[in-house]
A and B are shown apart, each in its own frame.
Chain A
């Protein structure tokens, strides 16, 4: 069910990015899609009753503690992927917003139908 909620979020974002005519709204849609995918990836690695994949001193005290850590830690790999994906989405956000600002400067509006009309 949680996966389905992620997918719903993804689709809301897709709807916003495809249907809306305002440049900022399109960026908002893309951000929503990115959140959805990030959530989905991290959920794939979750275990019931899991602990964060960070070893501290208490885990190193005995072999049993370490084994306990190994058997209950959540998956670190999707977390690493999402860290990368968050940075990538920040990068594309910066690029898109600078494009929006420059386009606004040139055309005086965020509305893409208006922009298309001005361009002729």
Chain B
């Protein structure tokens, strides 16, 4: 994949920033408005998928090395289970929302205890892993190219 024309490239590099911002917004406000970690993570992934379609796989690989993405994937999942285990440590029960009354008021960004943190962990995890799968699906094998039998 060598990418598309200069117009597409320029526009998508601008739009990418907006999409990333939108994804971050969806993740951070997931406990107040529709959306959340999952939808936001998919949006984050789609921004890099857009770059990949416009510039080609090699460019994105330089911008965002795959080993880093797969580490982010593991990190997000690990963060989420750590939130659960911290609940066990501080709250006495697995997954207890041990921060719920500690800060913030309802309907503010800082509220709902561990829920925003869970959203961030899931967003990170989902974004990284979906980008990873689309990237590996599109670069692993070119269409029409067969293994020798």
CB–CB under 8 A between A and B in the complex? yes
Q: Does A94 contact B (CB under 8 A)?
A: yes
Q: Are B107 and A60 within 8 A (Cβ)? A: yes
Q: Count CB-based A-B contacts (< 8 Å).
A: 29
Given contacts A106-B147, A108-B146, is CB(A98)–CB(B137) below 8 Å? Answer: yes
Given contacts A60-B107, A87-B38, is CB(A101)–CB(B147) below 8 Å? Answer: no
| A residues 53-112 in Cβ contact with B at 8 Å | 54-57, 60, 83, 87, 94, 97-98, 101-102, 105-106, 108
Q: Does B133 contact A (CB under 8 A)?
A: yes
Measured as residues with beta carbon below 8 angstroms from the partner, the interface class of chain A is 10 to 19
Q: Which residue of B lies closest to A94 (CB)?
A: B133
Q: Does A8 contact B (CB under 8 A)?
A: no
Encoded as 1 (CB less than 8 Å from any A CB) or 0, chain B from 104 to 144 comes to 00110000000000000000001000000100110011000
Contact partner of B38 among A60, A83, A94, A105, CB < 8 A? A83
Q: Are A101 and B141 within 8 A (Cβ)? A: yes
Q: Are B141 and A54 within 8 A (Cβ)? A: no
Chain B interface SS verdict (over half): loop
Measured as residues with beta carbon below 8 angstroms from the partner, the interface class of chain B is 10 to 19
In the docked arrangement, what's the CA distance between A104 and B140, Å?
Answer: 13
Q: Which residue of B lies closest to A118 (CB)?
A: B149
Q: Are A57 and B107 within 8 A (Cβ)? A: yes
9 A-B pairs with the lowest CB-CB distances in the bound complex, closest first: A94-B133, A105-B147, A108-B146, A105-B141, A106-B147, A105-B146, A87-B38, A101-B141, A98-B137
Q: List 25 A-B contacts (CB under 8 A).
A: A52-B34, A54-B33, A54-B34, A56-B107, A60-B106, A83-B38, A87-B38, A87-B126, A94-B133, A94-B137, A97-B137, A98-B133, A98-B136, A98-B137, A101-B137, A101-B140, A101-B141, A102-B141, A105-B141, A105-B145, A105-B146, A105-B147, A106-B146, A106-B149, A108-B146
Known: A60-B107, A98-B133, A101-B141. 7 other contacts (CB 8 A): A54-B33, A55-B107, A60-B106, A83-B38, A101-B140, A106-B146, A106-B147
